[in-house]
Amino acid sequence: MTMQPERQREPAGNGGVLPVDGMPNGAGVIVANHGTGLPASLPSVKRKPYRGPRLRLWLAGAAVTALAGAALWVWLSPDAALVRYKTVPVDRGPIVASVTATGTVNPVVSVQVGSQVSGKIAKLFADFNSVVTEGQVIAMIDDKPFRARVKQATATLKSARGNLARAKTTLAQRALELNRASRLRIRGFVSQAELDLAKTNYRDAQAQVEVAQAQVDQAEAALSSAELDLGYTTIYSPVTGTVVSRNVDVGQTVAASFQTPTLFVIAQDLSLMQVNANVSESDIGGVTEGNAAEFRVDAYPNEVFKGTVTQVRNAPISIQNVVTYDVVIGVDNRDFKLKPGMTATVSIVAAHKEGVLRVPNTALRFRLPGAPADRKKSQVWVVDPEGRLHPVPVSTGLTDGTFTEIIEGELGEGDRVVIGLESVEERARQELPPGFGMGPRIR
C-alpha cells in the first residue's frame, strides 16, 4: 500500500481540523489550541478495516445452508435404486385361523306375550325385571264388554232352545195328522190330495226341527266363543322367567284386530344366553358346530367371553345382495353380565395348529421388481449368507392373516425371507445425524 503525502491545514485561530488518512475529505480530528504548547499538526494515522466477526458469521451461515440443502435434497429427491432388503427369519409357532363377525346377545328362549282380544288394560301385575312363574296372572283387560257378550250369547241360546222345543211339538202334531189321514184314506173318507198334504206338512215339521237344532248349536258356539274371549281378558305368563320388556300401561287400549299386540317379552333363563352372529358366505365353510368362539362387548371392553358354536343355520340372510348365515353361539351367563341386545364382536376359531413352520404373509406377497412371477404359485425370496437372492417355491396351508403355514418347499427354520425393500426415507433416516429427520417425504 502506498502512503499518501500528509495533507496539513492551518488551524484558524486557536484551533483547527486535522485531516486523517483513510477518512473522507474534510473529515479529521478536531484540535483545540489554547496556548497549551501542543504542535499545530499531528502525524497521519492509517486505519485498517476490521473484518473478523463478519467473516466467521458468513462461514457459519454457509455451513448451515449447505447442511440444510443436503438434508432437503435427500428429503425431496426421487427414489434411487434400492439394493437393501428387509428380511425376517422363518420360525415355528402357532397358527389360529379365525372367522370374525358381529352379532347380538339374546336369551336362549324369549317369549312374546300378547293379547288375543282388544280392550283397555285394567290392571298390570308385572313390570320390567319382574320374575314370574308359569301360569301367573301378569295383566287384565277390562272384561265388562265381554261379560255383556256372554249374557247376550246366553239369551240367544235360550231362544234357540225354545224354538227347537216348538219345532218338535209341531212335528209331533204333523205326525198325528199324517197317521189320521192315512187311516181315513184307507176307508175312503179323505182324498188322496189331503193325504199328500199331511205327508208334506210332516216332512216340513221335520225340517223345522233340524233348523231349530242348528240354531241351538250355533248359539252354543257363540256362547262358548264369548266365554273364551272373556277368559282371554286375563293374561297369564306362559313360562317361568324374567320380564325383559313391558310395552303397555294401565289404561292403554290394545287392538288385536289385524295382529296380536305384544304386551310383555319374557326371557326364560338369563343365566344361559346365546349370540346370534352373522357370518358371511365366504367364511361360513370353516364354521361347524362345536367350534370354540370368543367375543367382546362394549360394556366390558377388557373382558373376553368364551362360548361354543351350537348351531349353524342353513337359512340365508340376504341384505343388499350380501348373503350371510346365522351362527348361534351358546354362552354361560351365571354372573349376569351379559344383557339382551348387546352387540358382540365375535371371533370363531376355525382351525388351530401348534409348532408349524411359518412365514409372514408379506413374504408371500413380495415381488422382486423386474423378475418374472407366476401369481398362481406361491413363492418366497430367500437371502443366502452371501447376500444373494433366489426364489423358493412353497406350498402353503393354514393362515391367520399374519402368518401362513409352509407345507412343502426348500425352506428351513432360520432362513431369512424378504418382506420388502428398504425405502430411501428409511435409509436417510438411518444415515442422517440425530435431529435431521424431517418427517415424511412430500410427493
Distance CA 122, CA 383 (A): 83
Identify the residue whose cell numbers are 435404486. 81
The mean pLDDT of 56-67, rounded to a whole number, is 74
Are 91 and 402 contacting, i.e. CB atoms less than 8 angstroms apart? no
Measured CA angle at 373 (ends 371, 378), to 5 deg: 130
Distance CA 72, CA 436 (A): 10
Confidence of residue 385 (pLDDT cuts 50, 70, 90): confident
Q: For residue 430, what pLDDT is reported?
A: 59
Give the model confidence (pLDDT) of 113-142 as tens digits. 999 999 999 999 999 999 999 999 999 999
pLDDT at 169 over 90: yes
Say which CATH superfamily domain 100-107+269-353 falls into.
Efflux pump adaptor protein, beta barrel domain (2.40.30.170)
Q: What is the dihedral of CA 116, 117, 118, 122, to 10 degrees?
A: -100
Alpha carbon separation from 191 to 162, 181, 184, 194, 195 (Å, rounded): 35, 9, 9, 5, 7
Give the model confidence (pLDDT) of 266-276 as tens digits. 999 999 999 99
Give the model confidence (pLDDT) of 11-54 as tens digits. 444 444 444 444 444 444 334 444 444 444 444 444 445 455 66
CA-wise closest residue to 70 among 440, 441, 432, 435: 432
Give the model confidence (pLDDT) of 343-362 as tens digits. 999 999 998 899 999 999 99
The mean pLDDT of 288-296, rounded to a whole number, is 95
The mean pLDDT of 413-438, rounded to a whole number, is 69
CA-wise closest residue to 126 among 29, 249, 217: 249
Architecture of the domain made up of 143-232:
Orthogonal Bundle (1.10)
Residue 226's Cβ-count burial label (10 Å; 0-12, 13-18, 19+) is buried
Q: For residue 77, what pLDDT is reported?
A: 55
Instruction: Return the CATH number of the domain spanning residue range 85-93+356-431.
Output: 2.40.420.20
pTM for this entry? 0.62
Mean pLDDT across the chain, nearest whole number?
84
3-state secondary structure labels for all residues of the chain = CCCCCCCCCCCECCEEEEECCCCCCCCEEEEECCCCCCCCCCCCCCCCCCCHHHHHHHHHHHHHHHHHHHHHHHHHCCCCCCCCEEEEECEEEEEEEEEEEEEEEEECCEEEEECCCCEEEEEECCCCCCEECCCCEEEEECCHHHHHHHHHHHHHHHHHHHHHHHHHHHHHHHHHHHHHHHHHHHHCCCCHHHHHHHHHHHHHHHHHHHHHHHHHHHHHHHHHHHHHHHHHCEEECCCCEEEEEECCCCCCEECCCCCCCEEEEEECCCCEEEEEEEEECCCHHHCCCCCEEEEEECCEEEEEEEEEEEEEEEEEEEECCEEEEEEEEEEECCCCCCCCCCEEEEEEEEEEEEEEEEEEHHHHHCCCCCCCCCCCCEEEEEECCCCCEEEEEEEEEEECCCEEEEEEECCCCCCEEEEEECCHHHHHHHHCCCCCCCCCCCC
Q: For residue 49, what pLDDT is reported?
A: 52
CA-wise closest residue to 368 among 377, 359, 381: 381
Least trusted range by pLDDT, from 249-263, 276-290, 333-347: 249-263
CA-wise closest residue to 122 among 110, 103, 138: 138
Residue 259's Cβ-count burial label (10 Å; 0-12, 13-18, 19+) is exposed
As beta bridge partners, residue 49 has none
Q: For residue 7, what pLDDT is reported?
A: 45
Question: Same CATH topology for 100-107+269-353 and 143-232?
Answer: no
Q: For residue 66, what pLDDT is reported?
A: 74
CA end-to-end distance (rounded Å), the chain: 58
- Domain extent listing, the chain: 85-93+356-431, 100-107+269-353, 143-232
Q: For residue 76, what pLDDT is reported?
A: 54
Confidence of residue 95 (pLDDT cuts 50, 70, 90): very high
